[in-house]
A and B are shown apart, each in its own frame.
Chain A
Amino acid sequence: MKKNLLSLASIFTLAVPALLGTAQAQEVVVGVPISSSGIFAFANLPARNGITLAAEEVAKSGELGPLKIKLLIEDTNSDKNQAVNLVNRFINTNKAVLILGSTSTVEAQAYLPIAQSKKIPALTQASGDVAVIGDWIFKANAAPAKIMESLALRYIKDYQPKRVAYIFNRDNESYIQQKDGVKGRFEQVGAKTLLEETIVGTDTDFSALVTKVAAQNIDTLVISTTGEVTANIIIQARQAGLPSSVRIVATPSAGSHQFLKVGGAAVEGVIFTSDYFIGNPSKLNQEFVSAYKKKYGIEPDNFAAIGYTVFKTAAAAIKSAGPDYSPESIRKGLAGIKNLPTILGNGSLTQTTARTPAYDGVVLTVRDGKFVPL
């Protein structure tokens, strides 16, 4: 009897960890450092909503079988040091096998090298060209500098800019790249750069700057900074006497509810490019819009759509990695994403060899307080 009990105990002792091990193998940890507060919250709050919605849909659909994704979403406070601490914690303590990132290039440039050095794949919606950091880093959306070029081409065709002024963030590489993307195309067709001025993300008083801009005989003002600051500059520029005939071109950061809320009537007519258009008639998009409105009570914006795409892309990569859910296997899954149906761009997402999808943006404008195609 004693012998039998000992045998049973041995089997139990051996079997329980094995069973637990199986159960653990059926859960992958995904870390999401995202600036839900602070100067980048205008983009990351909706992005977090998009990620959460997609995670719920994936869990409900059962498309990953018994596998569960444990999503750890933490606020970086728009502070790159906090983002670095979080990523270290996700990787070292929580044993995350995938990092999904913030839209902020400043933060991404700080924490992505950690993911790269620890060989943990990261899929980010950072606006800058951050995939160059290494072969473990992937972008879920096209580089804004590239889609800004497509905006420039469309703008040249429709409005033939002749005299242009630029205002851009000098403390954010992505906004410099986005400004350069437009400027390069404009100058190729002979548009003159009359003024090129810089700001930093925490500036609030633009009175001297916009008076200087208003005094130039320009037909186009390009503003490359966050959505809220773009709106603030436009309000102050119009009050400083910038003629209503001057068209204002902005970056995808303008595609946020916060931009409309802050800018009000002053941002009517602003032209910008977006990865996403809410009026896209595809079934996938209509279902997304409906689910988002049902869950959050508001319409999704560009960043919500990007966040949603980030998680859907991650889920597809994890699915293709199975049954081996190691970081290396998930990395291969991300690299192999091809023709994934998406709500962004032209409706299909394929990772390029540069680990960044390529598609043209949708050119939008603000009319009656809403985003509509130009």
Chain B
Amino acid sequence: MLAQQLLNGLVTGSTYALFALGFTLVFGVLHVLNLAHGAIFMAGAFAGLYAVTAAELPLYLAFLIAMLSGGLVSVAVDWLALRPLRQRGSSEFAAIISSLGIAQVLMSAGQAISQTQIMRFPFGTFPVVIYEFWGVRISLLQAAILGLSLLLAFTLLLFLFRTDFGRRVRAVAISERTSSLLGIRPNIVYFQTFFISGALAGAAGVIIGLAFNSVHFLMGEPFLLKAFVVIVLGGLGSIGGALIGGVMLGLIQTIAVSYLSSSLSDAIIYSLLFCILLIRPTGLFGKLHIETRVVRS
């Protein structure tokens, strides 16, 4: 059972990591916790679901539509809720509250659209195929989740560290003023950062909606809480840390359910968060993976 549960933990952790990637990217660049990330994730999942159910599009197109929708909603969140505050030089706290406010607006819209119903991708949207290796069962969907999460994370890392775009993002993250003097337009960088963050959230929305058979206007809330744990575990603003933190969280949660009790798993996770904040406020991989951080510490 241990091998199977480790695999389950890996898959669950991949979904947490996928969600946390966009969340930590925005934090790394803007130094702001975008509390609307859960609502953007929900918007992406809704777009993907309706693309399959209402427009009857194939899943790969629905996935792309979810990413595009998530990206656009994320950009809109920045333009409406965060950009005006940046221009006025408001505090980071104001930006957090503003993102919380727009998250409520988005969730209310999701509630109205879905009439608060729990929705699902239709049967057969993703083929149900189970493989067994040495007594461990893995479904095609689980394998796809693992593969996609890794692919998206490494694409993001390549983008940030091997392209001109990435250099501009890192420059703005270090100093908006200096990068402006060097000819970089921070607003374009913010636009691109929010779009990528939202597109990742949209992708996570479809994957998680498919994996756990549930699409709901509040689906982002529990993941947002988990994302806090992930980025604290991995180190605030660290892309690699989010990946490792997500997988660690998934494994810890799964092992807690498997060998202790399902009632205790949340208590264990949040106790861990508390301990890490006390002992290593920069996260477990804050120093170890400093080279992968978007923000220079």
A interface residues, Cβ below 8 angstroms from B: 37-39, 41, 77-78, 170, 197-199, 202, 204-205, 207-209, 211-212, 215, 228, 232, 235-236, 239-241, 262, 264
- Kindly list chain B residues whose C-beta atoms are within 8 Å of the C-beta of A228: 118
* A to B CB contacts below 8 Å, 8 in the list: A38-B116, A77-B116, A78-B116, A198-B263, A215-B1, A232-B214, A235-B213, A239-B137
Give the complex CA separation of A197 and B258 in angstroms.
10
Complex-state Cα separation, A39 to B111, whole angstroms: 12
CB-nearest residue of chain B to A45: B117
Is A207 touching B261 in the complex (CB atoms < 8 A)? no
- Check if A198 sits within 8 Å of B262, measured CB to CB: yes
Report the separation of the CA atoms of residues A199 and B262 in the bound assembly, to the nearest whole angstrom: 7
A75 closest partner in B (C-beta):
B116
Q: How many A-B residue pairs have CB under 8 A?
A: 73
A37 touches B115 (CB 8 A): yes
List CB contacts (< 8 Å) of B204-239 with chain A: 211-214, 218-219, 222
Q: How far is the CB of A53 from chain B (nearest CB, A)?
A: 21
Q: Are A239 and B12 in contact (CB under 8 A)?
A: no
Q: B1-24 CB contact bits vs A (8 Å, 1 = yes)?
A: 100110011011001000000000
Cβ of B54 under 8 Å from chain A: no
- 5 nearest CB pairs, A to B: A37-B116, A204-B212, A208-B257, A208-B254, A204-B214
Residues of A within 8 A of B61 (CB): none
* A205-B12, A211-B5 given; A239·B211 CB < 8 A: no
A38 to B115, CA, bound (A): 8
Bound complex: CA of A203 vs CA of B211, how far in Å? 13
Q: If A208-B257, A262-B120 touch, does A202 touch B262 (CB 8 Å cutoff)? A: no
- List residues of chain A with CB within 8 A of the CB of B211: 205
Question: In the bound complex, what is the Cα–Cα distance between A41 and B116 (angstroms)?
Answer: 9
Shortest Cβ distance from A233 into B: residue? B213
Q: Tell me the bound Cα distance from A39 to B114 in angstroms.
A: 12
Q: B11, A207: Cβ atoms under 8 Å?
A: yes
Whether B120 and A239, one on each chain, are in contact in the complex, defined by CB atoms closer than 8 angstroms, is: no
Q: Are B8 and A211 in touch, CB under 8 angstroms?
A: yes
- Contact in complex: A197, B8 (CB < 8 Å): no
Contact A212 B137, CB 8 Å, known A41-B116, A202-B222, A235-B213: no
A197 pairs with B213, CB closer than 8 A: no
B142 closest partner in A (C-beta): A207
Task: Choose from A39, A198, A208 the contact partner of B12 (Cβ within 8 Å).
Answer: A208
Min distance, Cβ A44 to any Cβ of chain B, angstroms: 11
Q: Is the CB of A207 within 8 A of B12?
A: yes
> A197 contacts which chain B residues (CB < 8 A)?
257, 261-263
